[in-house]
A and B are shown apart, each in its own frame.
Chain A
Amino acid sequence: MNSIVSRAKELLENKSVQVIVGFEAGPTGKARPAFVTYPSKTDILIFDERCVQNLAVYLTKKEVKQFGKIGIVATLPIMRSIMMLISEQQVFAENIEILGVSTEGKYLDIADIQVMQGYIEKCDLSNPSNDQETLAMLNKMSMQEKFDYWQNELSTCIKCYACRQACPMCYCTRCAVECNQPQWIPVQANTHGNMEWHILRAMHLAGRCISCGECGRACPVNIPCHLLTMQLADQAHKYFNVYAGTSEKMSSVLSTYEPNDKESFIL
Chain B
Amino acid sequence: MKKIINDPKRVVDESVAGFGLAHADLVRVEFDPIRVVRADAPIAGKVGIVSGGGSGHEPLHAGYVGFGMLDAAVPGAVFTSPTPDPILAATKAVDGGAGVLHIVKNYTGDVLNFETAADLAAADGIEVRSVVTNDDVAVKDSLYTAGRRGVAGTVLVEKIAGAAAERGDSLDEVVAVAERVNASARSMGLALTPCIVPHAGEPSFTLAEDEIEIGIGIHGEPGRERVKLEPADRLVDRLLEPILEDLPYERGERALLFVNGMGGTPQIELYLAYRRAAEVLEERGIEIARSLVGNYITALEMQGMSITLLKLDDEMIELWDAPVQTAALRWGR
A and B together in one complex: no
